[in-house]
């Protein structure tokens, strides 16, 4: 269904991460960075909500088949994300800062349904 629309899965991921970033900026969050890579994995978006650091995982699914997008945040992915966040905080020398982990679930298209789940774990 996406043939021709995106060059590859990374291109598709970047598209939906940009969509999530725009959505969250409209909700009042401030963009810090995206696609933070470290030895433990990747953080899709880093934003701030007032003084709270927000680490956001973005997932897209075309349909609800096979559990849909809400089932995409596996225990393994959560563990990798936690380790990546600890790495980010240490690298940025951020100690004792308020933080939370949010999940943006995007499903379907024209227009896609965006669900924002705060403090997912």
pLDDT score of 69: 64
Domains of the chain with CATH codes:
9-117 (3.40.1350.10)
**pTM of the entire predicted model:** 0.87
pLDDT tens digits for 87-119? Answer: 999 999 999 999 999 999 998 877 888 999 999
The Cα–Cα gap between 121 and 102 comes to 8
């Amino acid at each position: 269904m996406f043939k021709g629309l995106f060059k590859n899965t990374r291109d598709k991921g970047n598209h939906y991460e940009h969509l999530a970033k725009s959505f969250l900026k409209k909700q009042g969050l401030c963009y810090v960075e995206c696609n933070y890579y470290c030895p433990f994995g990747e953080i899709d978006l880093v934003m701030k909500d007032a003084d709270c650091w927000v680490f956001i995982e973005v997932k897209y699914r075309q349909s609800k088949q096979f559990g849909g997008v809400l089932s995409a945040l596996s225990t393994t992915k959560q563990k990798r994300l936690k380790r990546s966040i600890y790495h980010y905080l240490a690298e940025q020398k951020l100690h004792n800062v308020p933080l939370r982990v949010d999940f943006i679930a995007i499903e379907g298209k024209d227009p896609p349904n965006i669900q924002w789940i705060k403090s997912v774990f």
